[in-house]
């Protein structure tokens, strides 16, 4: 097994059986993660290739390029797979979280503003799975994902990156 | 030079109005990122947030916001807005890419044209966004991801030596060459823009511009489109650069439409004569449409 080269994009193998780089997740596992946890349909990813750059940082690119690619960015970083539980990025939650049917927590406006500012909040109404949830609020006449929160022990912990946090 | 703009007294009609316009600040304009939200939904969100806006008459995706901090709004946080002055949308409109095209953006950071091109492409096809500076690349990546783009490959190189190798060697359908320039046209946004102006700088940057346009033409397919733009008035950086490309490549400057009042490219400047077809380029002056200054030309690669 080869090691992951953190400076270049390595394409994810189709399945675990095709794996050539140690610990690299497969495309099949990534697609299954979005489907099983969030209910995002598999065909959402039909036109996408998945790549790893950095340890466990997974990127989704709508198209094909030769592999491995030594470039600066390829589509969007969508997932971290290096922790105990896989974690969607804020940008992925915003772009694809609207397709989610499960593990979505809807916030009122005060909760949404606190979430965006990076504050943790006690929210006792959630009776679904713990872990990383897509947080939404209403804007412009419909719900829209803001980002990802970690729900544990009746508390929603904002995972909005520091540079994105705002006090509106 | 104390007053670089005085060079253009003979080029600009109603020079007094031109100078007056250059003194006025520019309004805060944003473009709606239609990849993430429609214009009606965005204006509804602005209404809900109590943020005033006016439509920019010639382009329905542009809004003049009644706030000096558009970044501190929900629509911005969702990636529905991009701060972009009106004239900076012209290269994307002139390029007019279609979903599925391969498009090259050699001087991409911080990303206003890249995100506009991706929206016009409906996030389908390949958009290669290149820049030479690591700090600016970081801003570019952050903007493309905030806007939800997934068809963009970001590269770091001197655009004059751009390599097609990471992309299988296949050439592009279109390119938007929005080069570094002396920025005379940005004086309304940045009153210090001309403090460091020298003719040496204009001539030096023109050499870089020729090199970048040269490479963009080389990596574009026969029959493909290359848009060349600057935010400056200097003919050395505009028509003279096009003239250089026309002399060295099998390309032509072609007519195109823009929904703004413009003036043709100049064919003579300080004793130099340029290829007559550079008149098909468009000059945008601040007093005609109450915008920044701009230059934009559309070229077609022969084949």
Give per-residue pLDDT as tens, B253-293.
999 999 999 999 999 999 999 999 999 999 999 999 999 99
pLDDT in tens, B227-241: 999 999 999 999 999
Host H or E run for residue B295: strand B294-301
| Residue A3 DSSP label | P
Q: Stretch B233-252: mean pLDDT, rounded?
A: 98
**Cross-chain residue pair A72–B149, CB shorter than 8 Å:** no
Q: Stretch B70-84: mean pLDDT, rounded?
A: 94
Report the pLDDT value the prediction gives residue A4, as an integer from 0 to 100: 82
Q: How confident is the model at residue B303 (pLDDT cuts 50, 70, 90)?
A: confident
Q: Which residue of B has its CA nearest to A142?
A: B41
Residue B89 · residue B59 · CB < 8 Å: yes
- Measured CA to CA, the distance from residue B289 to residue B292 in angstroms comes to 9
Strand partners, B127: B103, B152
Report the pLDDT value the prediction gives residue A97, as an integer from 0 to 100: 98
Say yes or no to pLDDT of A126 above 90.
yes
- Measured CA to CA, the distance from residue B42 to residue B35 in angstroms comes to 12
Report the pLDDT value the prediction gives residue B52, as an integer from 0 to 100: 95
B75 is in an annotated binding site: no
Task: Collect all residues of chain A within an 8 Å Cβ-Cβ radius of residue B136.
Answer: none
Give the count of Cβ contacts less than 8 A between chain A and B: 96
Burial call B280-290: b when 16+ CB within 10 Å, e when fewer? bbbbbbbbbbe
**Cross-chain residue pair A164–B45, CB shorter than 8 Å:** no
Burial call A49-76: b when 16+ CB within 10 Å, e when fewer? bbbbbeebbbbbbbbebeebbebbbbbb
The domain segmentation of chain B, as residue ranges, is 86-301
Residue B84 touches chain A, beta carbons under 8 Å: no
Q: Which residue of B has its CA nearest to A90?
A: B146
Looking at the complex, report in whole angstroms how far the Cα of residue B280 sits from the nearest Cα belonging to chain A: 35
Residue B41 touches chain A, beta carbons under 8 Å: yes
Q: How confident is the model at residue A69 (pLDDT cuts 50, 70, 90)?
A: confident
Question: Token pair for residue B81?
Answer: 């807005």
* Chain A residue set in contact with B, beta carbons under 8 Å: 47-48, 60-63, 65-66, 69-77, 91, 94-95, 116, 139-142, 144, 146, 163-164, 166-168
**Cross-chain residue pair A72–B155, CB shorter than 8 Å:** yes
Question: Which of B48, B71, B74, B114 should one mutate to test binding to chain A, selecting the residue with the greatest count of A CBs within 10 A?
Answer: B74
Q: Which residue of A has its CA nearest to B149?
A: A75
Q: How confident is the model at residue B1 (pLDDT cuts 50, 70, 90)?
A: low
Burial call B48-80: b when 16+ CB within 10 Å, e when fewer? eeebebeebeebebbbebebeebeebbbbbbbb
- Cα-flanking dihedrals φ and ψ of residue A38, to 5°? -110, -5
Longest dimension (CA), chain A: 51
Question: Token pair for residue B41?
Answer: 């939904």
Task: Collect all residues of chain A within an 8 Å Cβ-Cβ radius of residue B73.
Answer: 168
Longest dimension (CA), chain B: 58
Task: Collect all residues of chain A within an 8 Å Cβ-Cβ radius of residue B79.
Answer: 91, 94
Residue B73 touches chain A, beta carbons under 8 Å: yes
Q: How many CB atoms lie within 10 A of CB B90?
A: 25
B113 is in an annotated binding site: yes
The residue among A121 and B3 whose pLDDT is bigger is A121
The domain segmentation of chain A, as residue ranges, is 10-96, 103-164
What CATH class does A103-164 carry? mainly beta
Residue A151 · residue A105 · CB < 8 Å: yes
Residue B124 touches chain A, beta carbons under 8 Å: yes
Looking at the complex, report in whole angstroms how far the Cα of residue A120 sits from the nearest Cα belonging to chain B: 19
Q: How confident is the model at residue A68 (pLDDT cuts 50, 70, 90)?
A: confident
Give the 3-state secondary structure of residue B221.
strand
pLDDT in tens, B84-104: 999 999 999 999 999 999 999
C-alpha distances in angstroms, B37 versus A7, A76, A140, B132, B276?
Answer: 34, 18, 9, 31, 43
In the sheet where A155-158 sits, what is the strand order? A104-106, A131-139, A142-152, A155-158, A121-122
Residue B190 touches chain A, beta carbons under 8 Å: no
Give the 3-state secondary structure of residue B51.
coil
**Cross-chain residue pair B151–A74, CB shorter than 8 Å:** no
Q: For chain B, what is the mean pLDDT?
A: 96
Looking at the complex, report in whole angstroms how far the Cα of residue A70 sits from the nearest Cα belonging to chain B: 7
Report the pLDDT value the prediction gives residue A22, as an integer from 0 to 100: 87
Active-site residues of B, by number, are: 231
- Measured CA to CA, the distance from residue A19 to residue B24 in angstroms comes to 61
* Residues of chain A above pLDDT 70, percent: 100
- Measured CA to CA, the distance from residue A88 to residue B136 in angstroms comes to 25
Q: Which residue of A has its CA nearest to B40?
A: A140
Query: A55-69, A78-92, B211-225: which has the minimum mean pLDDT?
Result: A55-69
Q: Which residue of A has its CA nearest to B36?
A: A95
Report the pLDDT value the prediction gives residue B70, as an integer from 0 to 100: 85
B132 is in an annotated binding site: no
- Cα-flanking dihedrals φ and ψ of residue B218, to 5°? -60, -35
User: With a CB-CB cutoff of 8 Å, which residues 150-169 of chain B face chain A?
Assistant: 150-156, 166-168
User: Domain B86-301 adopts which CATH fold?
Assistant: Rossmann fold (3.40.50)
pLDDT in tens, B135-178: 999 999 999 999 999 999 999 999 999 999 999 999 999 999 99
**Cross-chain residue pair B37–A140, CB shorter than 8 Å:** yes
pLDDT in tens, B2-20: 789 999 999 999 999 999 9
Q: What is the pTM of this model?
A: 0.97
Say yes or no to pLDDT of B120 above 80.
yes
Task: Collect all residues of chain B within an 8 Å Cβ-Cβ radius of residue A142.
Answer: 41
- Measured CA to CA, the distance from residue A71 to residue B151 in angstroms comes to 14
Q: How confident is the model at residue A131 (pLDDT cuts 50, 70, 90)?
A: very high
């Amino acid at each position: 097994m080869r090691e992951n080269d953190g400076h270049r994009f390595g394409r994810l193998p189709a399945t675990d059986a095709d794996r050539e780089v140690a610990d690299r997740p497969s495309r099949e596992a990534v697609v299954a993660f979005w489907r099983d946890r969030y209910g995002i349909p598999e065909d959402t990813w039909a036109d996408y290739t998945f790549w790893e750059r950095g340890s466990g940082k997974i990127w989704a690119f709508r198209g094909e390029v030769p592999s491995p690619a030594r470039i600066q960015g390829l589509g969007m970083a969508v997932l971290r797979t290096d922790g105990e539980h896989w974690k969607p990025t804020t940008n992925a939650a915003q772009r694809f979280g609207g397709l989610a049917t499960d593990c979505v927590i809807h916030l009122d406006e005060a909760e949404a503003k606190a979430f965006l500012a990076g504050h943790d909040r006690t929210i006792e109404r959630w009776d679904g799975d713990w872990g990383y949830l897509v947080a939404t609020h209403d804007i412009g006449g419909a719900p829209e994902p803001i980002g990802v929160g970690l729900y544990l022990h009746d508390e929603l912990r904002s995972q909005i990156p520091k540079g994105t946090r705002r006090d509106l | 030079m104390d007053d670089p703009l005085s060079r253009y007294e003979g080029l600009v009609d109603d020079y007094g109005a031109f100078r007056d316009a250059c003194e006025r600040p520019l309004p805060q304009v944003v473009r709606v990122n239609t990849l993430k939200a429609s214009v009606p939904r965005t204006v509804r969100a602005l209404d809900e947030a109590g943020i005033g806006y006016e439509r920019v008459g010639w382009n329905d995706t542009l809004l003049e916001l009644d706030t000096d901090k558009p970044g501190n709004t929900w629509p911005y946080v969702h990636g529905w807005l991009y701060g972009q002055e009106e004239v900076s949308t012209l290269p994307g409109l002139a390029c007019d890419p279609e979903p599925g095209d391969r498009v090259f953006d050699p001087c991409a950071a911080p990303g206003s044209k890249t995100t506009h091109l991706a929206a016009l492409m409906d996030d389908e096809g390949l958009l290669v966004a290149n820049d030479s500076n690591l700090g600016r690349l970081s801003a570019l990546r952050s903007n493309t991801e905030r806007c939800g783009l997934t068809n963009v490959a970001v590269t770091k190189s001197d655009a004059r030596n751009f390599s097609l190798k990471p992309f299988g060697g296949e050439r592009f359908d279109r390119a938007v060459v929005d080069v570094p320039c002396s920025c005379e046209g940005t004086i309304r946004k940045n009153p210090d823009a001309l403090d460091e102006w020298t003719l040496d700088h204009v001539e030096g940057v023109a050499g870089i511009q020729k090199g970048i346009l040269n490479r963009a033409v080389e990596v574009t397919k026969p029959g493909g489109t290359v848009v060349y733009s600057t935010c400056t008035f200097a003919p050395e950086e505009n028509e003279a650069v096009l003239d250089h490309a026309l002399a060295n490549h099998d390309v032509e400057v072609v007519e195109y439409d823009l929904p703004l009042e413009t003036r043709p490219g100049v064919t003579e400047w300080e004793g130099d004569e340029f290829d007559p077809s550079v008149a098909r380029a468009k000059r945008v002056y601040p007093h005609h449409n109450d915008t920044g200054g701009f230059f934009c030309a559309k070229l077609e690669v022969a084949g």
